[in-house]
Amino acid sequence: MYPIIRGASLLAVAGGTILLVAARTTDRSVELRPAIDSGTAKHIILFIGDGMGDSEITIARNYAVGAAGRLAMDALPFTGEYTTYSIAEDDPSKPVYVADSAATGTAWATGSKTSNGRISTSAKTDRDLPTILELAQQRGYATGDVTTAELTDATPAVLAAHVASRSCQGPDDMAQCPQDRKTVGGPGSIAEQMIDRGVDVLLGGGSSRFEQSVSGEQTVAHQASTNGYQLVKTAQALRGVSSSRVLGLFAAGTMTTEWIGQEALPYPSNVKNPQVCETDHRRSQEPSLSEMTAKAIDLLERATRDGAFFLQVEGASIDKQSHAANPCAQIGETIAFDRAVRVGLEYAAAHRDTLLVVAADHGHSGQIVSTPADADHPSGLLSTLLTADRTPMTVSYATAAYHRSQDHTGTQVRIAAQGPQAAAVLGVIDQTDLFRVMARALGASTPPPSSAR
């Protein structure tokens, strides 16, 4: 369980944190010089917090470790920001300021901007865009794709599938992508393409997509086991896996959230009665994101002779619970994601030839606002939480009407990195640049952006 700091335990729990803060105030040039590495990486681990803008990180930090505390993801030596806009389907020369996870994922997966809803295909022309996972495979790296969402959801899908619409997740979901159906010579749904692509380690939710039939009695899951995948459905079964090709499906849809709590409501909501989140809510048969990350690293490292691998790990429900204006569930997913980052950092500490990146796909709606009062309060949905500082923090969601799904925002978001090529994330870059950072780390030549503006 992530420590919820309470009064006297502050020093004990946050001891490392305080040291970290102190270190940041000293001359860091000696420490940073050797961190600048222009070489290639034998291991690439990309952590994506879906909908994890600076605001979402701050909300989680304040709640879980206090305003002066630091999360694992705060410890990376190089931090920058990247722009996340997408482009218009009808006129790709025009930006769309608020992007979705399909377009943003396509940006780092392929190095090209696309329109909202597309999975590694180009806006307007519907061309397949080669992905970083495919490039890693060509260069002999084992590959893994881990998420708390459905494996066929946009963020995991962009690495291993090419379809016109993110909705085309299983063979029965192809209404928006008639040209991609296998029956007309297309590559099939996202689920089919992920299996056909031979991604070594696939862990997440979304079993219902893989239980759809490809032809007659054969389901996508059947096809996966014919293709050599070991299928697992529980955390217990995952622990026993030793095959380097595994399909782990731990929920029919999105995996359960780690924490629960009251949803945000119009004022006065719970402003005068701050809530404390309920932790440890995930079903025991569903592994945590950190457990999936550790297992994926372990399997991938043994999948090839030299141990080279590319792995993407997504904390998906930071986004999904922001849509639901549920701050406790959102924070719990951010903290669970941070624990997965910690697993990656521990691996990277022992394997210096690891490029480790922590980024988001787009910002989301939650904002930390001043204490609302009868005389003056925001018009959106509000929830007040009692933080690790034992201080109330009010979070406002105001990007959609009450009872509607809260919307993403168009802000730039944090990207942080360490290892070979990591220094390239400094300053303000674009999401498509992350593709080139990772491609260089793979030792591939990096073509200039194509449809990126």
CB of 157 to Zn ion, least distance (A): 14
- 319, 333, 338, 361: which one contacts Zn ion (CB under 5 A)? 319
Rounded to 5, what percent of the chain is helix, strand, coil?
35, 20, 45
Listed in order, strand segments (DSSP E) in 138-250 are 142-150, 201-205, 213-215, 218-219, 230-232, 246-249
Candidate ranges 127-135, 315-323, 351-359, 377-385; the one touching Zn ion (CB under 5 A):
315-323
Residues in the chain: 453
CB of 408 to Zn ion, least distance (A): 6
Residue type, 181: R
343: phi > 0 → left, psi -120 to 50 → alpha, else beta; which? Answer: alpha
Indicate the residue among 56 and 319 with the shorter CB distance to Zn ion: 319
Structure tokens at 83: 């722009």
Distance CA 415, CA 82 (A): 7
* Residue closest to Zn ion (Cβ): 319
Q: How many other C-beta atoms can be found within 10 angstroms of the C-beta atom of residue 362?
A: 26
CB of 77 to Zn ion, least distance (A): 29
Helical residues (DSSP H) of 161-257, grouped into ranges: 190-197, 207-210, 220-226, 235-239
Question: By CB under 5 A, what part of segment 117-146 binds Zn ion?
Answer: none
97 burial class (0-12, 13-18, 19+ CB within 10 angstroms)? Answer: exposed
Candidate ranges 160-168, 313-321, 327-335, 429-437; the one touching Zn ion (CB under 5 A):
313-321
Candidate ranges 40-48, 114-122, 166-174, 314-322; the one touching Zn ion (CB under 5 A):
314-322
Indicate the residue among 207 and 254 with the shorter CB distance to Zn ion: 254
**Residues with Cβ within 8 Å of residue 33, at least 6 apart in sequence:** none
Candidate ranges 145-153, 229-237, 311-319, 424-432; the one touching Zn ion (CB under 5 A):
311-319
The count of residues interacting with Zn ion (CB under 5 A) is 1
CB of 223 to Zn ion, least distance (A): 29
DSSP class of residue 446? -
Task: Note whether 150 binds Zn ion by CB under 5 A.
Answer: no
Buried b (16+ CB within 10 A) or exposed e, 43-72: bbbbbbbbbbbebbbbbbbbbbbbeebbbb
CA nearest to 253, candidates 157, 153, 118 = 153
As annotated, the active-site residues are: 101
DSSP class of residue 92? T
CB of 350 to Zn ion, least distance (A): 34
CA nearest to 224, candidates 242, 206, 205, 197 = 197
Is the peptide bond prior to 130 cis by the omega test (within 30 degrees of 0)? no
CA nearest to 247, candidates 279, 284, 210 = 210
> 3-state class of 317 per DSSP?
helix
Indicate the residue among 354 and 367 with the shorter CB distance to Zn ion: 367
Backbone phi, psi, residue 193, to 5°: -65, -35
Indicate the residue among 53 and 419 with the shorter CB distance to Zn ion: 53
CB of 49 to Zn ion, least distance (A): 12
- What distance lies between CA 256 and its chain's CA centroid? 16
CB of 361 to Zn ion, least distance (A): 8
Indicate the residue among 319 and 338 with the shorter CB distance to Zn ion: 319
Indicate the residue among 317 and 432 with the shorter CB distance to Zn ion: 317
Candidate ranges 58-66, 67-75, 295-303, 319-327; the one touching Zn ion (CB under 5 A):
319-327
CB of 319 to Zn ion, least distance (A): 4
Indicate the residue among 317 and 421 with the shorter CB distance to Zn ion: 317
CA nearest to 131, candidates 107, 102, 165, 155 = 107
Residue type, 115: S
Candidate ranges 152-160, 318-326, 331-339, 413-421; the one touching Zn ion (CB under 5 A):
318-326
Indicate the residue among 200 and 333 with the shorter CB distance to Zn ion: 333
Q: Site residues (CB under 5 A) for Zn ion?
A: 319
